[in-house]
Structure 1
């Protein structure tokens, strides 16, 4: 447990250092990467996949209600969705809670999440297929469904710098370019 906490602190520290040095707030790949087909359930229990968001820039956040850093960053993701959510952009918060949809809905009510839709993969297959080895994990996915970059660890998604970065990426994606 101690090693996990130390690793998480190192990730958070490296994100803060990157921001201070003017590096991208989400580590970007040299070129977009293909993603495996993944599927998960929406709040009604219907199966959805990343194809449902083709044509939109997606911030896919993989999290769980039992993950303390995840719980702390959820309100900031909710604010980003409220401010930037549109036909061009969406925050997709994908819970990997094995207890399913009800526990996520209860958590959303508990901390007043109003702008994020409920998505759950209670099998954990999506995280495995995406090679996510720590929580929270956030993938920036372009309009073609390719991964532009990923951030492992919590961050302040609603910071002015992050909002500006996401707006710039949305604009670039809508013009057909890659970030």
Structure 2
């Protein structure tokens, strides 16, 4: 079993047991109050109180953990390294973002099912003309087959192209890339600093990149 799956399983059972404690606690307390024997009554009252209190504490902790997971999901990949696979168009080999370690990377996805399926080559060309150099890599990835991309007209010099499959994108980038192009800005340490959904102007992209060069 994957470690993350195991942890999620424990978290789920923790919530179930906490809810069970909250439900059973008052029942046992009531049972203790109806007992005629003082020792027996004290035992059930203590047991019921401990179970109910444990259930409340456990449920509170579960909600806090769920809240932190929700915040992480909403934040997406920003502030984290990005791990994904793609195929380099020129060589046909498996590509890796580690190739550009120490550089700022503008990674742009577009797909054939996007509302605006035409690749934003003009914007990327302007970004390269303004900021292109040894400290910047601009990578454009498409879901189109490699032979289709190779048959397209010439692209801006310095632009790295490749193909990707939607399933290889980590969430929530996978959901973002379905309807519109998505641009991801990665700093020189390999950390995602920005995710921009939709087609953006060259001026906007250049302003975002310049901060990390």
Report TM bin, short chain: 0.5 to 0.7
Matches within 5 A, 1:121-140: 121=164, 123-128=165-170, 131-133=173-175, 134=177, 135-140=180-185
The unaligned stretches of length 5 or more in structure 2 are 1-74
Deviation at 1:106, TM superposition (A): 2.5
The structure where helix makes up a greater share of residues is 2
- In structure 2, the CA distance between the partners of 1:130 and 1:89, relative to structure 1 (3 Å rule), is farther
The number of residues matched between the two structures is 133
TM-score by length of 1: 0.63
1:94 corresponds to which residue?
A: 141
Point out 4+ residue stretches in structure 1 off by more than 3 angstroms.
Answer: 65-68
TM-score by length of 2: 0.54
The alignment yields a C-alpha RMSD, in angstroms, of 2.5
1:152 corresponds to which residue?
A: 197
Larger RCO, structure (CA 8 Å, separation 6 or more)? 1
Matches within 5 A, 1:1-150: 32-35=79-82, 37-42=83-88, 43-65=90-112, 67-71=114-118, 73-97=120-144, 100-107=145-152, 109=153, 112-115=154-157, 116-121=159-164, 123-128=165-170, 131-133=173-175, 134=177, 135-150=180-195
Secondary structure (helix, strand or coil) at the match of 2:183 reads strand
Deviation at 1:169, TM superposition (A): 2.4
Deviation at 1:64, TM superposition (A): 2.6
The unaligned stretches of length 5 or more in structure 1 are 1-27, 171-179
